[in-house]
Structure 1
Amino acid sequence: MIAGLLPDMAADLHTSIVATGQLVTVFALAYAFSSPVLTALTGAFHRRTLMIAALSAFAVANVLAWGAQNYWELMAARIVLATAAGLYVPGANALAGAIAGPDRRGTALAIVNGGITIAVAFGVPLGAVIGDRLGWRMTFAGVAALSAAASAGLLFGLPRSIGAGLPTATLRERIDTARRPVVLMTLLVTTLWATGAYTIYTYLALFIARTTQLHGAQIGYVLFTWGVAAAVGVFIGGKAVDRLGSRRVIIPCLTVSIFAFALMSASAHWLPASLALVPVLVGVVAWGIAHWCFYPAQQAGLIGIAGLRGTPIALSLNASFMYLGFSLGAALGSLTLSVASVSDLGWVAALCEVGALVLTVSIGRHVVKVRCASTACPA
């Protein structure tokens, strides 16, 4: 949410934009490491009660962020936000699957993950528009109100008997799943994909302000356009996986992302601000579609690798590795701004996506070799 608010937040908190960007890094890092641990440790808790408590804590943490008087108070609130979210999301998936039953479990999981994905896509543009008109603190106040309403919805909308006795994978089972080479390599693809995107996404408002003639609320509209493109990408990705398979979706998505990021940096370097807007917008839209078209394909690929029994663990780990990538991307973006310029963010992001593409191709070859070793492949 705060990626579009960094300049205003930095000025209000009397810190640099690079330091303020670490609020994104710390949130994503705390989410990545706390989610699998807390989910395993709270496996014996009643799922309904745990979800209400996690979402209520998320609402309270947003209030703390709204009232933060300095950078470190806001940092502490962001850590609480991350741990609450990291506990809520896996539990929401488990509870949705339990409520829907085996016949509609896939649909239920698609709804939960689709909601989360769209929320990630639209969080930055909506936050930027609200922050530009009402101030950055009001974005946290708005999320606090929405979280409180959602908590009330769970409290009064879910029967007390729902969610009792749901099995939860232990931390050891999660580690054992991640240690499988092909699963680990696939999770690393997720991390590289997320790292590349958040290298520029964290500082996208700054990138647009420095490389085009847009400013203020106009930047928010560009971020909103990215959100719309991302929502389209989620829809296209789900349909395309059903028709083509995950691998035939993942490779084109990563390829498009590489060219989109390169186009953005090339435009920033070699075109004046008056001419850079159109190619930058083309890059933003192509990136938004390709980025979130990739995600359902990557999930489907993990399900195929992990098998039905390992699917819940693999998808939970995929979320953790994604947020690890978000934190690394925000940190890499800060490093890029420190040693180079904002115009170079696209180049760095593209290199990360190249790494993800190379690793994806290697995984495909590895899977083919394994299948040939177990079956009679033609010479």
Structure 2
Amino acid sequence: MRLRLLLLALGTFAVGTDSMVMAGILDGIAGDLGVSVPAAGQLVSVFALSYALLAPVLATLTARWDRRRLLLTAMGVFTVANALSALAPDYGTLLATRVLAAAGAAAYTPTASAVATALAPPERRGRALATVLGGMTVATALGVPVGAYLGSEDWRLTMWLVAALGVLAFAGLALLMRGLPAPTAGAPGLRERLAPLRDRRVLAGAATTLTFFLAFNSVYIYLATAVRPATDGDQGRLSLILLATGIASVAGSWLGGRLVDRLGVRTVLLAGSVAAGLAFAALPWLSRSLPGALVYAVTAPLAGWAVGVALPHRMASIAPANAPLLISLNSSALYLGIASAGAVGSGAMAAFGERWFPLVSAGLAAVAWGLSFTTTARVRAEHAVARGDGAQVGARA
């Protein structure tokens, strides 16, 4: 099982590198294709929005597909799209290839997450999910810096790097990912598959994911600005802060999986939201020195990615038979948060200034905490009533 989970994580590592590295090569793209940097930045937004819109649609349309076939198809589309991005002769073509790459990613990541939960026994599903999602956090610590370094010479090399990662993931899945649990016999049709969208628990879970990742990324996107007093414009200091952020993201994903299995989803959601919110609120003071900025760089992603593991686990537990669709909805909410964070962060900066804008993220984290507190408490009570006892069965739901 461990090897299979690592292969699935290799695919999410490729997806994570692709989705996050673009921000580091926008100058090169703009100069090469003769467009403005803001226009090049739309490539990031188009990828995120396409992912968000396509994930639940593709999960529904492919519900009856063999899981191995779906993983291979998704990774194949993703890989080809990145190769086409590397070859794109103009901005319009590149934009189209980003939509295609988002389609492959939107089909792959939720499926990989659902397969991970199906492969693992119930008491280890949090750790299995953390392993697969850990591929995305490792991308922030390793894939993005390497991709950005290559992109400093030629942005197309970065796209070839992502395509090569896709080839490796595809080959591993093709060779070793056999005998996966099949889709449930007599799988429900489209109307039944979409029924969870009418479930208030699903909507609450998606709203929590969107709000939390909006809070997290509204600061992350503008982290260089937020910690400028600590770095004084020195690239080496900023690189140190970003390295600490990447390492803490990996640690947060690992820790979140274990805490979900040990303490339950609700505890992780509530404690992680509080910790992240306090980090956002303290950043205007922590950013005045390098040690303080490093405290933030460790605390916020450690808490944030622990919550990031708990959120899809919570969604999948609502209706396990529809786990791929529910996890895809969670992914959609996450990417909508990412897509909206640029505008929210810049708006907060315009309203409150470069020092105080993280306070908006602190407020959003408080909203995410409130959503988690009220909706997970309700889910726990409903589960207990359904069982006819007072057991705290919802603590892990």
TM-score by length of 1: 0.80
CA distance in 1, matches of 2:114, 2:385: 36
Shift of the alpha carbon at 1:232? 1.0
Secondary structure of residue in 2 paired with 1:253 = helix
Q: For structure 1, which segment, 341-350 or 165-174, has the greater mean C-alpha deviation from structure 2 after superposition?
A: 165-174
CA apart distance, 1:191: 0.7
Partner of 1:295: 308
Contact kept, 8 Å, 2:226 with 2:284, in 1: the verdict is no
> Could you list the per-position Cα deviations for residues 277-306 of structure 1 after superposition, in whole angstroms to 9, with x for gaps in the alignment?
3322221211110101112223343355x1
Aligned partners of 2:269, 2:122: CA distance in 1, in Å? 27
Task: State the distance in 2 between where 1:302 and 1:38 align.
Answer: 17
Who is 2:249 aligned against?
Answer: 230
Contact 2:277 2:363 in 1 (8 A): yes
Q: 1:320 aligns with which of 332, 354, 359?
A: 332
- What is the aligned counterpart of 1:359 among 368, 371, 394? 371
Counterpart pick for 2:343 among 331, 338, 351: 331
CA contact (8 A) 2:29 2:155 kept: no
- Residue 228 of structure 1 and its aligned partner are, at CA, apart by 0.6
Contact residue 194 and residue 326 of structure 1 kept, 8 A:
yes
Check the 8 A contact 1:233/1:288 in 2, yes or no: yes
CA distance in 1, matches of 2:188, 2:233: 48
Match of 1:177 in 2: 196
| Superposed CA RMSD | 3.5
Deviations 1:253-288 (A, max 9, x none): 1112122223334455xx4xxxx3332222121111
Q: Deviations over 1:166-219 (max 9, x none)?
A: 666654334321321123112211110111122222333455568622444653
After superposition, the Cα gap between the structure-2 partners of 1:344 and 1:73, relative to the gap in structure 1 and judged at 3 Å, is farther
- Note the 1:114-125 alignment, pairs <5 A: 114-119=134-139, 122-125=142-145
What is the match of residue 220 of structure 2? Answer: 201
TM-score by length of 2: 0.77
Identity over aligned pairs, percent: 34
Q: Amino acid of the residue matched to residue 134 of structure 2?
A: G
2:133 to 113, 118, 142: 113
1:83 to 2:96 alignment: no
In structure 2, give the amino acid aligned to 1:181: R
Q: Confirm or deny that 1:65 pairs with 2:85.
A: yes
In 1: Cα distance, 2:102 partner to 2:325 partner: 20
Give the drift of 1:86: 0.6
Contact 1:37 / 1:171 at 8 angstroms: preserved in 2? no
Match of 1:5 among 24, 28, 32: 24
* Distance in 2 (alpha carbons) for counterparts of 1:372 and 1:53: 41
Alignment of 1:208-357 (within 5 A): 208=227, 212-216=231-235, 219-266=238-285, 271=288, 276-304=289-317, 306-336=318-348, 342-357=354-369
Name the structure, 1 or 2, with higher relative contact order (CA <8 Å, separation 6+): 1
Q: Note the C-alpha offset of 1:61.
A: 1.7
Question: Does the aligned pair in 2 maintain the 1:234–1:295 contact within 8 Å?
Answer: yes
Cα offsets for 1:314-353 (capped at 9, x unmatched): 3332222212222122332354466665545423322221
Q: Judging changes above 3 Å, is the alpha-carbon distance between structure 1 residues 185 and 143 closer, same or farther for their aligned structure 2 residues?
A: same
Question: How far apart are 1:32 and its partner, in Å?
Answer: 1.2
Cα deviation for residue 31 of structure 1 reads 0.7
Contact 1:4 1:125 in 2 (8 A): no
What SS does structure 2 have at the residue aligned with 1:43? coil
* Unaligned ranges ≥5, structure 1: none
Amino acid at match of 2:258: K
Alignment coverage as a number of residue pairs: 367
Name structure 2 gaps, 5 residues minimum: 1-19, 391-397
1:147 Cα shift?
A: 0.8
Secondary structure of residue in 2 paired with 1:281: helix
Give me the whole-angstrom Cα distance separating, in 1, the residues matched to 2:348 and 2:99: 24
Counterpart for residue 54 of structure 1: 74
Output the CA distance in 1 between the equivalents of 2:341 and 2:108.
23
